[in-house]
Every structure is written in C-alpha cells, then in structure tokens.
Amino acid sequence: MLLSFTNSLGQTFNINGNYLLASNWELGNAPVNHQSSKAPYQDGETYIDTIFESGNPILEFTIIGDNRQQIFDRRLIVQQHFNPKLGIGTLKWVQENGTTYCLDCIPSKPVFVTGEGQSRGHQAVIISLFAPNPSWYNPTQYERHLVGFSGGWSFPWSFPLNFGTVSQQITVRNSGNVDTPILVYFAGEIHDPEIENLTTGKKISVVKNIDDGKTLIINTTFGKKSVQILDGGLTNAFEYVDLDSVFWQLVPGDNEIRYVASFEGANSLCKLLYYNRFSGV
C-alpha cells in the first residue's frame, strides 16, 4: 500500500521509508447536502437532489531521522512538495492489490506537531487537503471510438438518390458510482457532428464543418465546459453549439451513445474519453 502526492510541478512525495504513515490514518468521505424545497403549509419538505460538498482528507505521518538536522532537512522536503501556492495536485492511493485511486486536491500548510510530536529522531506532521471536486477516480483514462457510415448509395441506382448519414451507436460503461464527464474529439473532415447519450436523452450538437486536419474538442466537466477547435492552436468554438445542447455526463452503469454527422471524410474520427469516478474509497 502506498500513499503519494504529486504537486503541479510534477514533484512526487511518497509517504514511506523515512516518512511513516500514521496507523490510524483516515482519508474520510465528503459530506453530502440534501437539497429540498418547502411550500407554505406543507408537511415536511419536497426532496430535490443530493450533492456532495468539497472533500477535506487529512494526511498524518511521522518523519524519521538519525538526528535533529536530518529531521530539519526532511521537513524542508515536505514543505517543498506540499506548497499550497502551487495549487491543485493529485493524491494517489495504491492499494495492496494494485488498485489505484486519485483525488485532485490542494494542500494546506503542513503542521509540524510540537510536544510529544517531536524529538531528536522524529517529527509528526499533519496536512489538511482541500478537494474542490470530492470524487476519487481511477487514473486509467478510457477511450472509445465512434465512426461509421449508414445508408448511402446502393446499386443499381434508383432515384431519388440517398447519400446517407454517418451514424454509429455503442455501449459505454461507467464502472464508477457517480456521473463522470467526457472529452469528445471530432477530427475532420466531419460536418455537423452530434453525440447523444440515449440513456439520459441528452445530446450535444455542433453546427459546423470540421475541415480535414482540424479537431473539435468538447469538455463536459462542470466548471470547465468548453468547445474548442485545434488547428495549430486552440480557438473558442462555443458559438457553433446548438442552443438545445446539454453538456451531458456518463451515468453509472451502461450508457448507450450515438454519434451522427451529415458527412464524414476518409480521415475523420470521433472518440470519447472518460475516467471512472467514485464518491469515496
């Protein structure tokens, strides 16, 4: 079993060796907030939804050293890795069977415990973490491809001609226990692409011809929703999104996903990427 933290500079701190994890360590679960409404004279309330609040896991470990100077040197290493000014980093928990979970979070300033928490050869450390998104996730990013041609020409020709539409439907499984956002890549040449979650009835439609060599990227992450075109650099493409579009996510379990376009070139590509997310581990 291994706990580690990687900051935004890519520096990884492993809690092992000279840094001993407390025997009573607890990552904790994010609190929930039940949303409800109440009308005048109503008995009780009407349930609306339940949302998770931000997470606040706490790390507790002890620095071990042969002398006080060694303790000071190792305290400095802790300070460097858990610098709150570096912003969001990633806490990783590798379980004994190899299963791995990650949580994006920001450390508070490390607290070096005084009194019985320190001596010539040890120093207890407590670090509070703030997880704006409380969902843990498996670091494996899953990728599914959707591309295909349905309908089209048939021989012998008959009139009127049917030029067909690009369409494919696949099943995508979210093995987590909470909704998870998606990244969608439409690589040209594709005209007017649309991707729909038939399980929830929500779809994203883009009224735009994506030329060969360009890529349309859609992100449905809450707070980071974006539609951009990659062509050397990234440019905003939100203006091409149909007003009835909903930036949907994958619900737990099987999701029936359909991709449709009015035209698809030989080099076209539609792919969907996501992580399995969990309310707690």
Model pLDDT for residues 151-186, shown as the tens digit of each residue: 433 334 444 434 445 558 899 999 999 999 999 999
Q: How far is CA 219 from CA 45, 238, 261, in A?
A: 35, 11, 19
pLDDT at 166 (0 to 100): 55
The identity of residue 235, as a single letter, is: T
Residues composing the chain: 281
| DSSP-assigned beta bridge partners for residue 93 | 3, 101
Q: Residue 229's closest CA among 258, 188, 195?
A: 188
Q: Find tokens 């959707």 and name the residue.
A: 146
| Per-residue pLDDT tens digits for 177-230 | 999 999 999 997 889 999 999 999 999 999 988 888 899 999 999 989 999 999
pLDDT at 156 (0 to 100): 44
3-class DSSP state of 73: helix
Name the pTM for this structure: 0.83
Integer Cα distance of 197 and 171 in angstroms? 10
Q: How far is CA 108 from CA 42, 58, 85, 201, in A?
A: 44, 10, 9, 41
Structural domains in the chain, CATH included, are: 2-134 (2.40.30.200), 142-278 (2.60.120.860)
CB 197 within 8 A of CB 179: no
pLDDT at 257 (0 to 100): 95
Q: Which residues contact 72 (CB under 8 A, 6 or more apart)?
A: none
The parts of the chain modelled with pLDDT lower than 50 are: 149-164
Q: Residue 166's closest CA among 186, 193, 205, 145?
A: 193
The identity of residue 58, as a single letter, is: I
pLDDT at 253 (0 to 100): 96
CB 106 within 8 A of CB 246: no
Q: Residue 60's closest CA among 12, 135, 123?
A: 123
Integer Cα distance of 189 and 204 in angstroms? 18
pLDDT at 146 (0 to 100): 84
